[in-house]
Chains A and B, each alone.
Chain A
């Protein structure tokens, strides 16, 4: 009888045929529910609260770089398993299969409305974009390339923190990437961080926080310690807006909050304000 009741409820929620259930998106900030299709049409922004949901690296590049301008660096760099950590190699292999990525960051060169820039995009679909050797190395090389070639860097950050399966080597990627940012800084070039959902842990505590200008998308999570860890320490429930982009703006750790549909033009303006002008179009012969 109880089983019948469940069937009825399922039927009511999913329409007549549970097989054709429409994939839904439930907003982690406001709880509003819309179809995945509608969410995609809205550029993956919650229509109710403006939470900017996570994008894949490919999606991010396509809405940021000028069409066809992106040239990827170090495409095949792949994680070794330095500690022979139980289950790690398999996990990486599975995720490579699933996401089509080799690891959690894509780096390369592109133009944004004509301005040449080095682009770094982290993808939280790959082990929550935790930073291991590959992520650290690719980011470091991108900054070194930009420093040598006098180019700006735009980095879209997202990460759960250190990749513990690589032990202390993962922690040292914080130092390595920050050193490269410092080198780029000494070369007098512009570095813009765009913090996306979620930017936390060792990435917040290294290169992500070192931008000359730090932008965040609305309602994204930004912080050092995890919310549950803090709640465990203080034995209290934290307010809903704790560690959101708006909280970081209020406390002085973010320069501006920019909506996704305005991001490309804001980035382009900032690049041009720093003298990175669009390359002159070649005269047709």
Chain B
């Protein structure tokens, strides 16, 4: 029988914020083979918040782009707590275009509280960088698969979220604004974060309901949480299948379906 995740968004938030939550650096060696990291946006520098490179999944060459959470303070300092600067998004776009050239599928891992909010990020055009990624990924002539690992915050997540198929790890959350930020704007009271968590509808099941995600990747057969090996196994199985499926598609049809996937999201009367 299929296990149902009955946890509230707030409980899931505690799980994904726990220090035992695996990060892309944990998953990489278990899901991919022959991984080579590639650095830099060829303009400003190399943003540690976004990891990029090439490797294989079950033998198929792919490009991997991921937001990087740290596992300790040093790693978090190097990756700026997974909050990318514009050059991070531009690095992602550079690698995506390279993937297009070599007909490699792109696999994006979303794992960020949001794009970095700072003076330098504004000076270098955070808004433009995100906008450009969204628009360019929309017409990228190669399959794009995105997975939300723990949290996807706002435009900083969507910059890696324009894809042919989006999967959520079962406890992952996807939000238009951090619940804390929402509480502080809505009720001028950031301490009502838990309440905001529930009213915003941010769980994996919500994403499937709204047509934002197509799949939920199970994290465990039991109630154990943050089980690296089990998650990696299920993630690899999902990716191998979806990459093969999307790679077979005619590219014009794939792009049409990608457009339609986003085109139909919206509720109005």
Which chain A residues have a beta carbon within 8 Å of chain B's beta carbons? 77-80, 82-83, 85-86, 133-134, 136-137, 140, 161-162, 164, 166-176, 178-183, 185-186, 201-202, 204-210, 223-226, 229-230, 233-234, 238, 242-243, 251-253
Contacts and interface: CB of A to CB of B under 8 A. Distances in A.
B202 interface: yes
A82 B127 contact: no
Contact of A206 (B134, B176, B201): B134
A151 B233 CA distance: 50
A205 B130 contact: yes
A180 B175 CA distance: 23
Interface stretch (B18-26, B68-76, B99-107, B117-125): B117-125
Given A168-B202, A225-B121, A176 B262 contact: yes
Given A86-B199, A205-B155, A169 B126 contact: no
Given A167-B201, A210-B131, A174 B125 contact: no
Contacts of B158: 171-172, 174-175
Contacts of A226: 117
A156 to B, nearest CB: 17
B138 A175 contact: yes
B259 A224 contact: no
Contact of A225 (B122, B124, B132, B212): B122
B234 interface: no
B263 A224 contact: no
Given A83-B200, A162-B176, A206-B134, A172 B121 contact: no
Interface in B120-146: 121-128, 130-132, 134-135, 138-139
B210 A169 contact: yes
Contacts of A164: 176-177, 182, 185-186, 200
B235 interface: no
A177 B174 CA distance: 19
Contacts of B269: 77-80
A90 to B, nearest CB: 14
A167 B155 contact: no
A129 to B, nearest CB: 15
A184 to B, nearest CB: 11
Interface in B159-176: 159, 161-162, 174-176
B254 interface: no
B119 A80 contact: no
B199 A83 contact: yes
20 contacts: A80-B267, A83-B199, A85-B199, A133-B266, A137-B268, A162-B154, A167-B210, A168-B174, A174-B155, A175-B134, A175-B161, A176-B263, A202-B154, A205-B115, A225-B126, A233-B117, A233-B118, A234-B119, A251-B123, A253-B127
A265 B128 CA distance: 27
A229 B155 CA distance: 15
A224 B185 CA distance: 16
Nearest to B163: A175
B131 A178 contact: yes
Interface of B: 115, 117-119, 121-128, 130-132, 134-135, 138-139, 154-155, 158-159, 161-162, 174-177, 181-182, 185-186, 199-202, 206-207, 210, 212, 259, 262-263, 265-269
Contacts of B175: 167-168, 171
A166 B127 contact: no
A229 B181 CA distance: 10
B155 to A, nearest CB: 4
A210 B158 CA distance: 16
Contacts of A171: 154-155, 158, 174-176
Contact of B206 (A168, A251, A253): A168
A225 B186 contact: no
A70 B162 CA distance: 34
B265 A172 contact: yes
Nearest to B89: A205
B198 to A, nearest CB: 10
Contact of B268 (A78, A167, A223): A78
Nearest to B200: A167
B197 to A, nearest CB: 11
A223 B199 contact: no
A105 to B, nearest CB: 12
Q: Which 8 A-B pairs have the closest CB atoms?
A: A204-B127, A225-B117, A224-B127, A133-B266, A209-B131, A205-B130, A82-B267, A171-B176
A136 B262 CA distance: 11
Contact of A169 (B115, B161, B263, B267): B267
B131 A77 contact: no
Contacts of A140: 263
A268 B267 CA distance: 36
A80 B265 CA distance: 13
Contacts of A78: 268-269
A166 B267 contact: yes
A209 B132 contact: yes
